[in-house]
Amino acid sequence: MPNSSLDRILFGEHKKPLSWKERFNIILGTARGLAYLHDKFHVCIIHRDIKSSNILLDHNFQAKIADFGLARLLPNDKSHVSTKFAGTLGYTAPEYASQGQLTKKADTYSFGVVVLEILSGRKSIDLNQPPHMQYLLEWVWSLYEENKVLELVESEEMEGYSEEEVVKVLNLALQCIQGSATNRPSMSEAVTILLSDAEIDFRKPLQPPFIDMGYQAVRPTP
């Protein structure tokens, strides 16, 4: 693809500043792609490995979901499938990593992580950061508890951003990384939220389980 992959643009060898419009369009395009796979295709496809390196960017920075090597079909009569863990640590929903229970909401969780990467310009796991910032989701939650969540936004590189729009996208990301899959929005709902001009009444997020429930067990060894 002309603009390589999202991870290379955000924090790789092709790193470049992205405007708010470009970032929002990448988020929206990824959400639309997942909503299509989950709800619009003739059979539900769960990608299982949504991450920045699997989002390719065309010449207009429109997002294209790539690498379906781990994808699974979800039969119409099933709410989930049970399978061995396959995916990338740092993007994986806790119920899937710990119990092998795979639903569409596992992709929703991974999408939420990618959104936070897009907003912050930080990797999900980066051991070169100070200890309190090495694991993006833990850092985000600590900022949320301190009412400082906007501090994670890479605002100095994000031309044309609207604080109101950024807050909406941040709140959506927090809903997507909820520990309980039932508390996460579907990807079709995520698209609706992103396109809505109305004020969204988000449910207050609960503390994600990666802090409470031994999520460190599935972290890579430094």
Q: Is 67 a catalytic site residue?
A: no
CA distance linking residue 63 with residue 115, whole number of Å: 13
Question: pLDDT tens-digit profile of 98-151?
Answer: 888 899 999 999 999 999 999 999 999 998 999 888 899 999 999 999 999 999
Catalytic residue among 7, 49, 58, 77: 49
Residue 122's Cβ-side half-sphere holds a number of Cα atoms within 13 Å equal to: 24
**Domains of the chain by range and CATH?**
6-68+83-213 (1.10.510.10)
Q: What is the dihedral of CA 113, 119, 121, 124, to 10 degrees?
A: -10
What pTM was computed for the model?
0.90
Q: Which residue has the higher pLDDT, 144 or 1?
A: 144
Strand residue runs (E) in 90-175: 101-102
- For position 219, what pLDDT does the model report? 41
Question: pLDDT tens-digit profile of 143-165?
Answer: 999 999 999 998 778 888 889 99
